Structure 1
Amino acid sequence: MQTNITYSSFVALGDSFTEGMSDALPDGTYRGWADLLAGRLAARAPGFRYANLAVRGKLIGQIVEEQTGPAAAMGADLVTLVGGLNDVLRPKCDVDRVCGLLEEAVERLAPSCKRLVLMRSPGRRGPVLERFLPRMERLFAFIDELGARHDATVVDLYASEAVGDPRMWHEDRLHLNAEGHRRVAEAVWQALGLEPEEDWNAPLPPAVPVGWLARRTSDVRFARQHLGPWIGRRLTGRSSGDGRAPKRAELLPYEG
């Protein structure tokens, strides 16, 4: 462990996971693991700068086209790239194409920074995820290959039972809640070789059993408020990120 490591700048690329959904602040904006990590890094490096180019709903092709060029030009010490999961969770997906685009992004970003971080994304445990596991595991195996080939750090969140626990997820079942994001920030922090603050992968206490009626009520609310709109966007080719700008499009000083 190299506790004297400092990073003077950090650029985050990706989709809703890196934008910070659904770690909501009182004003309705999202914080998330990348902001939490930036705050901790800023405490170690005077003049620390941070950009977050991630936008909800982005596919890997959009991340490559819209985010990798600006990120590489910033020349930050630390770059994180998380993408591709929105692609593999669609009904039809060419996983080879997704991997090819991810490789294109890594080849562009790795030479531009001192440390590139990739991730095996977390997934909420449950029956919906099961049908996509073969695709996800192909993608994550390729991410491991990219990490080895380009000397990038790969953070394995997918294997974490704790982060996959439904209690770490927002009621939309697609995004982490505040505690989930806090654990991801700690996981990346430790992967960078910095002094651990806690065990990010510590198991949760046994869950309190939920009755049949409460489960069904939750399922109906989820379908009405979240699943229905999500399906509607897929059928019409719309995205939750359409027309939305990144929350920190420039590499500027960050004070947390």
Structure 2
Amino acid sequence: MTTMKKFISPMLTALVSVIIFLAYSGNVAAQKLYLSQEDVASSKTLLPPPPQPGSPEFLADEYHFLQAKLLRDTPRGEQAIQDADMSDKVLLKFEESFGLAITKETMPQTYELLTRSMECFGGLGCKEAKEYYRRTRPFVYYGESSRTPASDEWMKTNYSYPSGHSANYYGLAYILCALRPERQNEILQRADEGAYSRVIAGCHWMSDIKAARIIAAAVFARLQASDEYQSQFRKAHKEVRKAVISK
């Protein structure tokens, strides 16, 4: 029985990672974004270079990687696998912290606001620095597999610095905080968890996460100058307040 469990567990992990990888290029990516690549700040200009091997900063990255790796075979490690899903299901990961479940059916205005904003953070905001620095991801550096092995080949060509997933988590959190400021502590804590999941999964270094937070803040600021975003934000805010009152 023990041998069977050891065999089945990796199979389940691989299956989940396949589902997550397929979902990543699904309905969120198909949304028309509020910003273009030209609209966002240059991540290459905005960010310092990533830590180089042998530097004190890189040693700190290695320390955080090894500490996070200890969590892989725990419930927190399983959460890290689930947190890799960047389909619209990522919105439900904020359900507890936001206090409301955001789906296309139940909160269409808020759903549209978030899904049309998300890849402005992790996609457009991170693209230039990723392609310029081409930083190796931890699982590649150590010759391992990540916790989402179905996406490993793709991740080898979509570089580590900064973390796109983490930028998405922080960017969504900033918008959600603007919609429900009374829940900001809980929302930001959930974003921290989603970002740290990338370290646990072996997909990112801690310095990638810190850089993603800077990118998310810059893109969030730029969204405020988009008339289309502002118009949709007002609709979403009205929808959220109504849902809170009727809850």
Larger strand proportion, structure 1 or 2? 1
TM, length-normalised to structure 1: 0.30
Larger helix proportion, structure 1 or 2? 2
